[in-house]
Structure 1
């Protein structure tokens, strides 16, 4: 776009285009998420769910008290985490069918993730239940739980057990896990959680492809890792968008979408485009020169060195902005607190500039790991 086009800039048109891009980038939070955790009684399914959600013992008791609904069969538990997210803990889908409520009928129509939990030595009769679950799910994760029972034996024994389960169930991958210590009567000083992080990450990667990862992350007791991911994705995006004609539109929309995602992660509130984008001007006064440079540059033809500089400025501002939003939300503060927001942003903005000076990057697109940078930035400053 030429400089003459910039002279004809229309503010209303600009924000209409930003809002249109925001709608494309913002998470679709109108979707539902159904997860079925299936396995025999005493397979440790409830403890596995607690570990997947990163709950403490106290939090696990609260979830069971508030979120659990008993079905007709005493072995069926429905966890309604919110209006969109449901987890069913059951010995098999037949128990879900027997319960026959409107909730379980809807649940059976579409299950996003099936987690099939087994324990002990391989039992080929379990394949029937797995095949039943597979017919209703978009993805299946098979878990060999309670691996602590093999701790006193040679590691090769557990390897053999896993291989036998793979053969009998006809699956390529099994997640060996332990989620011990959630029993309120447990005398263990610490919980024994193993293998759950890998399972959680792979389920998260699958849900991310469906655009549903945020729905589950919202209910994680520890949300920082997902917040880091949201910020890292936004930084990688704006680093590239700085080179696109009209970049200010795309960068602003990316920042807004990240704010909306962070807000939902911490509060469960779904922000509209208007309310999200209204937050951004609160930061503008703190970096007026940088924002003006980005804005004017975005309406000029690509110019090489200037584009690289713009990418650096965009990344620094976006990192400071989203770190500020993350700080306020993770501490239960309101984004409407302008004085606190601006004060925290000023601090983060200077620290972000120092961070990129230390890296001495000639082009921010060369950064090998955005996630590593954000983890380090947030971890050392909160």
Structure 2
């Protein structure tokens, strides 16, 4: 990194440590993700899939054209969102088994998430299909869809229906949902999507524990909330890492890993550690003094006030850096456009310094507050 803030220091050793930490921090994006949407009424489940992915009516039509595999068993829809992510919409796993292709056989070997969809009054015979799905899944979410059917009745009716389904299926939780309005011929001015947010949130939290949430987030129509999540996690991390011995390597790895995650979110491509780290000098050249301070401070004994100052500097630089990357990628531009990166970073860095001037480090650890701050900052 000739001409950078790190000249004269042991760069090879430093970046070896950064790459090692990068590998620990970045999710394994080579994994596969299989989701089964199982239930009797195919069209209802298709609408639920569209709602889960936050698609508009137009986008719902496009994803069906691009992802659907033709020539499979009647009643079975296979959506390959990419080479890693596959969704199957089927009445039951017997229908998946009947479609004896490599796609379905590999799918049956491991299903990450099963969404079991029922509608109407309880039907105890559905437990057989649920038990079959349970044998193949890491986690199952049972959904009572089309709850709009009970809108004209007393509110207690829907509670009674849910409790009956729970009793017949022997489950503790059922998600009541509505995904009305995805039919292209629908004349509804707005789509009626109730209960889908909580279902999506719980599925994403489950996938996050498995390190697979980004694989699904990549296909969400609205990517900003996921970009905010990546940035917030990075800010919390660098604020804490500033107090560690050798903190510069930790902070640099966190920044590079977040850049890699944002890159995958918007492009679906995996950014290597070398490529992610190579983006950093473009930003650091704009803040040479601060970057050198962070690097040198990381090799000093803990000193309290200096560590707090380092944490503040790390948070400001990281926010400006990741906001710049997010802006570039969300508009379809390339990370290789250095002049554009530097120009946007200068603006974001100035705004970030003003934003965090009056904030204490305790504010960084308040995730709900920080999420709101970052969301507003990116808007």
TM-score interval for Structure 1 and Structure 2 normalised by the shorter chain: over 0.9
**CA displacement at 1:41 relative to structure 2:** 2.2
Tell me, in whole angstroms, the C-alpha distance in 2 between the residues paired with 1:44 and 1:107. Answer: 22
- Give the structure 1 partner of residue 147 of structure 2: 147
- Give the structure 2 partner of residue 186 of structure 1: 186
Is residue 376 of structure 2 the alignment partner of residue 379 of structure 1?
Answer: yes
Change (3 A) 1:381 1:259: closer
- Give the structure 2 partner of residue 332 of structure 1: 332
> Structure 1, residues 205-230: CA drift from partner, whole Å, max 9, x if none?
00000000000000001111111110
**CA displacement at 1:242 relative to structure 2:** 0.3
Give unmatched runs, 5+ long, in structure 2. 1-5
- Give the structure 1 partner of residue 162 of structure 2: 162
Q: Secondary structure at the match of 1:315?
A: helix
Is residue 200 of structure 2 the alignment partner of residue 200 of structure 1?
Answer: yes
- Give the structure 2 partner of residue 221 of structure 1: 221
Change (3 A) 1:381 1:367: closer
- Give the structure 1 partner of residue 175 of structure 2: 175
Given the two structures, how large is their TM-score scaled by the length of structure 2? 0.96
> Structure 1, residues 23-43: CA drift from partner, whole Å, max 9, x if none?
111110110000000000256
Asked if structure 2 preserves the Cα contact closer than 8 Å seen for 1:75 and 1:90, the reply is yes
**CA displacement at 1:335 relative to structure 2:** 1.2
Asked if structure 2 preserves the Cα contact closer than 8 Å seen for 1:71 and 1:99, the reply is no
Is residue 370 of structure 2 the alignment partner of residue 367 of structure 1?
Answer: no
Give unmatched runs, 5+ long, in structure 1. 1-5
**CA displacement at 1:71 relative to structure 2:** 4.8
Asked if structure 2 preserves the Cα contact closer than 8 Å seen for 1:51 and 1:196, the reply is yes
Given the two structures, how large is their TM-score scaled by the length of structure 1? 0.95
Tell me, in whole angstroms, the C-alpha distance in 1 between the residues paired with 2:366 and 2:323. Answer: 17
Asked if structure 2 preserves the Cα contact closer than 8 Å seen for 1:69 and 1:78, the reply is yes
Alignment of structure 1 residues 226-375 onto 2, 5 Å? 226-359=226-359, 361=360, 364-370=361-367, 372-375=369-372
Q: Secondary structure at the match of 1:299?
A: coil
Change (3 A) 1:381 1:79: closer
**CA displacement at 1:288 relative to structure 2:** 1.1
- Tell me which moved more, 201-210 or 303-312: 303-312
Alignment of structure 1 residues 17-166 onto 2, 5 Å? 17-42=17-42, 44-166=44-166
Asked if structure 1 preserves the Cα contact closer than 8 Å seen for 2:42 and 2:90, the reply is no
Aligned length: 374
Tell me, in whole angstroms, the C-alpha distance in 2 between the residues paired with 1:7 and 1:283. Answer: 16
Change (3 A) 1:233 1:371: farther
Asked if structure 2 preserves the Cα contact closer than 8 Å seen for 1:223 and 1:265, the reply is yes
- Tell me which moved more, 49-58 or 9-18: 9-18
Asked if structure 1 preserves the Cα contact closer than 8 Å seen for 2:236 and 2:365, the reply is no
